Amino acid sequence: MLTKTLFSTLILGAFWVFIGSFSTELSAQTTAPTQPAVGATVAPAATQIPRIDLSISPVEGKDDYSVAIQVLILLTVLSFGPAFITMMTSFTRLIIVFSFLRQALGTQQSPPTQVLVGVALFLTIYIMSPVMNDIQENAVTPYLEDQITQSEALDRASVPIKRFMLKQTREKDLLLFLDMSGTQQVNSVEEMPLFVVVPAFVISELRIAFEIGFLLFLPFLVIDLVISSILLAMGIMFLPPVTVSLPFKILVFVLTDGWYLIVESMMKSFN
């Protein structure tokens, strides 16, 4: 303890000695007057003020944005990353189906939410890999090689995403948002606005996910009804049927290789 105190005192003393010598030298430099030469005219010292320029000049020879604007746009797009993953990919259907499966099994927080989100995320990457490859080939690579501008790259990147979403969207949902937005007749995917395609795609995904969740609930609901009927016939009223049916539901799910069947059916539903 004494050694630590002595060491701290020495360090503090050396610091104050350094500060004192530095301040003395600085005051000596600032107070020492400059001796002008004999017969020379002493001119007043001009104060130098640095020039501050906040203007953003465009890149010469290109109609593209400057680097600062590109970084700002990139950060803005990255802030919408969770919304992009949730609303414009297969993630919505996957995570809702997995949530319904956990509720149907009655396992409370098993598997944990982090595990379900991770599985849904990696399955989304696998499902969306053809779309990402198309964007990489037709939009990102030409833009990095200065073959196209940034606006052209964004237009090219939106086409594969629109094509993927339209394949999973019901015509009824798409017509709903086209009529509500007052959009005229659209002749191609490129002309389809994203603010129409995205909500129609989300509604279709929610509908399909709830249909799959209903089908998942049926076999486990039958097990609950059978267990509750048996307990009622035996006169066991104090034991909750959910507690007794949980091991049987897990056993049936494992014996039928449930994870394999669910993941396989989900992957095929997007193809």
Nearest to 126 by CA among 264, 261, 258: 264
Peptide bond into 160 cis (omega under 30): no
Looking at per-residue pLDDT, the higher value among 90 and 18 belongs to: 90
Looking at per-residue pLDDT, the higher value among 132 and 62 belongs to: 132
Helix (H, G, I), strand (E, B) or coil at 135: helix
Give the pLDDT confidence of 97-107 residue by residue, as tens digits.
999 999 888 88
- Is residue 266, in this structure, part of any structural domain at all? no
- Is residue 157, in this structure, part of any structural domain at all? yes
- Work out the pLDDT band at 95, boundaries 50, 70, 90: very high
- Is residue 192, in this structure, part of any structural domain at all? yes
- Is residue 71, in this structure, part of any structural domain at all? yes
Give the per-residue pLDDT at 229.
85
- Work out the pLDDT band at 21, boundaries 50, 70, 90: low
- Is residue 40, in this structure, part of any structural domain at all? no
For residue 31, pLDDT over 50 is answered with no
Nearest to 247 by CA among 225, 223, 268, 263: 223
Give the per-residue pLDDT at 65.
52
| CA separation for the pair 178, 170 (Å, rounded) | 13
Helix (H, G, I), strand (E, B) or coil at 41: coil
Total structural domains within the chain = 1
Give the per-residue pLDDT at 8.
54
Boundaries of domain holding 170 = 67-215
